[in-house]
Structure 1
């Protein structure tokens, strides 16, 4: 059990803490299970406590000497402080400040991954300020910190001038960086809110934050409340605005790998920000976010902020389908020649137009799922070349396999069956590794969390027992070397030609599925199979579909 107390004595009086039963406590040399220090003292109950971290253990002192000096001044750790210090209650903070701290940590993590430094202070910080203004949590004349009762506005914040409504004017008056905004908000709230108000004390008992109770209630119409998946929506929206080479799939993969803080990020909160009661339901998550969930929240967030049209995505941008197709062709270990066909499909379907790829929240235009679009283009090209009807591609693979055996010196033709077996084995192995990592993932936080004041000591006691059992099992099993976290990469597979364990198909030829027709090459497969859907051939149209027709 950890006691929240501070030893105020120093100098010669410090030795009095070590006297109990007539002898000095220098015979117990076991390290502290909490901090591994060997610096023990005795409480008034006769138990050992660590003077470094104030951790009380179950071991008690055996009294050896019966002689006891009654006039000796003995000071010891009491069972509890009669008057709590102001630091024990912590800061009076709002939920939005907790999310602001999380956004700051996520932005710093993205910077360590190589993202441009402008993303934190120039893009993400301005999006956050605009959200605070739109939701009337800051930068507004009428603040809405609590939704169950009206908050009184101090006289200093409403004397004469109104808050600016334009984002550009808002940025000029605000701090210049995300870190300064965080420090400014924490300092402002700690000074402006009086510690003598009964309402604040009541709220602090039920929740660590001032508006934790009201935050879980149904929001007002048109209100977009913050949540943990919403923090990733802010990050993805900032990445999309900067046109960084990070897709939403990559961002979620970095979150799952622990490179971007998401799970248990509240463990990094300052010690003065106490997490209690309803705050746990707000900041604690028990699962990884889904792609569709973060995508929909990003679209709703951009509409809520009334953002202008995002920067255009040209052919030189990473999110353009031509560049994304190159990445996914390399990831899928497919021949390089397929990129020529994906580029032709992009040009034919006009999926690479700037007007189509550009996101415009004011026009209520839907966002493009860039990685899904690129993967779909590759599937369409594979169907154009190999039909993929579970018959044609296997017959073609038999023909290509015989040809490659006869002509081993020439450039090998792409064998669909061989590629399928290699990819199936690699995907199964990768999926098994992901499941093993997911099973070993510590879903519970290291910091003990409790919803009420009554079960606080029960939770702390259980946490102490759990830590003790883990240490005992660790001694039995032996010290295991911690697995070093690998640096994240945009590619999950390494199809190196020098690697003998895996077959690389990047340099294979598509001659087996191509035929020369005039001055150009066309596919051997004349059809495009899609179940009951067929291309419309009327007047040379190849962009419309005719339903319910047999192939």
Structure 2
């Protein structure tokens, strides 16, 4: 905003407009600075608040500045001052000034709202996720600190005047006029406490900025080039890591694999999440590389990012995972036994394996980011690995014993149709194989039909906007016409979210439910305890990789039985993970369960090395 003040003498000027008295004292005469403007060639100069000359015709600011020592004589000239304290909104078509972290803040907000609709408590959004994000802004020097990265060497006056003031307790440096929706209920607006009304940090601009011509955001180019050691840059996959950390802190009934599956089913914003941005947040150019995602999230990648973020934020020890928590192996094993249609009696065996291996201990399950070796248990993968180990204990899975036991169970069930049926591994395999193939086919078709293009078109610059929008409109019209010609049936909307992918009922004649079947055919009674008829066991990994290797062990399907391959493939599809990742976890469970076997192999290998030396 340009303000104009005319003065004839020093006394009248100070009396007429005392607000701009200091501006007038900084005035300059034409004799002192007569250079022509490099843009409009005019000789009409004013002085900004920073003491720099600017052209009153075209508002071009020069690098030259002037400090007026003698304020005795003030010329009778027209002086203009730029008030930089006032915030200016751009026109709607140009959008507001916004920063990259505001975009991620919006994505986190939308994801938290989606989790809330899935049944997660409001505390996750209002308290946990808010505090994590606030701490990240401080640690990454974007807010809640003395010198935020976007202030361009400008110090925050409040913190400078009061050095004892805590960075964490201070208000965030404001980035733009845009206000993100607060992470609270709508009913909280009537509460007088400001912090309860807006627990999620609102970021606004402290001074007027102009967005780069290469990006819609103010700092899009700078953010994409920023590489500071020790700083974890925010990305769209890391928003899922934030959500998963918040879920873990609250000990919610959503595991990492569930979270990624909900993302696939479009219940949680991830792909094209930027299209939920407000209309005023224009996104183009470098912003496309920051917010546009063209691949599905990976379990291992998000798991590593969880640990990375928790370590970067210096988060304290998470709440304890006890036996009554959903994330405890005993609870998850029961859930996955129901999921894959296995007998309920197997749960007693999984609980014994959990107890013998020690993976059910509180210290083992509870995530502690500040520990020397910060790592959290892969709760869902670990529970599934326990079930695989129990299946190997019962049926060996060597493509021989499981079929022999199936013959015995089949004969018993034919003779005793009124009694409780014995579990038939062959019949279970046939039912699960058919269901798995159907699920896989639907999953592959859904992925193939997925529209990666967003409804909100992306363009490299504001100049290309009209062309891109026109092309997008034409593509949408062609898709509608083509779908009408090819398929007249109406498109089915996305299915409602569920914790289970497979549903088994006793009433379905085509799909047998094995939950109530007995394990008497594979167990023998010795006194008051039951033991497995199978006394053999083969280890999934004979030798683990060395400590400097990135993986624990390798998995090649050709080296293992077909039964084992099917089990691994079944659970890998269930969790949307790689088969090698699950095989690795099975090997780690076996290493804990059969400590003596692995210790013997270590002794043998050490002896052989000594012999070779001599």
Normalised to the residue count of structure 2, the TM-score between the two structures is 0.69
Q: 1:211 aligns with which of 219, 237, 259?
A: 219
> 3-state DSSP class of the match of 2:150?
coil
> 3-state DSSP class of the match of 1:311?
coil
Aligned mates of 1:379, 1:472 — CA distance in 2 = 49
Aligned mates of 1:247, 1:532 — CA distance in 2 = 27
Matched, 1:94 2:94: no
2:207 paired residue number? 193
> 3-state DSSP class of the match of 1:455?
helix
1:342 paired residue number? 350
Matched, 1:502 2:556: no
> 3-state DSSP class of the match of 1:516?
strand
How large is the RMSD of aligned CA atoms in angstroms? 2.9
Aligned mates of 1:172, 1:224 — CA distance in 2 = 19
1:434 paired residue number? 443
- Is the 8 Å Cα contact of residues 141 and 163 (structure 1) preserved in structure 2? no
- CA displacement 1:58-112 (0-9 Å, x = unmatched): xxxxxxxxxxxxxxxxxxxxxxxxxx97222211111001100110111011011
Aligned mates of 1:483, 1:379 — CA distance in 2 = 36
> 3-state DSSP class of the match of 2:524?
strand
Aligned mates of 1:101, 1:373 — CA distance in 2 = 33
Q: 1:320 aligns with which of 313, 328, 332?
A: 328
> 3-state DSSP class of the match of 2:408?
helix
1:12 paired residue number? none
- Is the 8 Å Cα contact of residues 394 and 417 (structure 1) preserved in structure 2? yes
Aligned mates of 1:496, 1:486 — CA distance in 2 = 20
- Is the 8 Å Cα contact of residues 100 and 182 (structure 1) preserved in structure 2? no
Gap runs ≥5 in structure 1: 1-83, 195-199
- Is the 8 Å Cα contact of residues 92 and 193 (structure 1) preserved in structure 2? no
- Is the 8 Å Cα contact of residues 126 and 199 (structure 2) preserved in structure 1? no
Shift of 1:158: 4.9
User: How many aligned positions are there?
Assistant: 450
Aligned mates of 1:182, 1:449 — CA distance in 2 = 31
Change (3 A) 1:480 1:138: farther
2:314 paired residue number? 306
- CA displacement 1:439-478 (0-9 Å, x = unmatched): 1111011112111344333322322321332343355457
Aligned mates of 2:510, 2:237 — CA distance in 1 = 39
- Is the 8 Å Cα contact of residues 146 and 156 (structure 2) preserved in structure 1? no
1:125 paired residue number? 130
Matched, 1:547 2:556: no
> 3-state DSSP class of the match of 1:487?
coil
Change (3 A) 1:161 1:376: same
1:248 paired residue number? 256
Change (3 A) 1:516 1:176: same
Aligned mates of 1:204, 1:172 — CA distance in 2 = 23
1:259 paired residue number? 267
Shift of 1:206: 1.3
- Is the 8 Å Cα contact of residues 394 and 416 (structure 1) preserved in structure 2? yes
Normalised to the residue count of structure 1, the TM-score between the two structures is 0.76
Aligned mates of 1:310, 1:183 — CA distance in 2 = 21
1:419 paired residue number? 428
Change (3 A) 1:162 1:275: farther
Matched, 1:144 2:149: yes
- Is the 8 Å Cα contact of residues 525 and 531 (structure 2) preserved in structure 1? yes
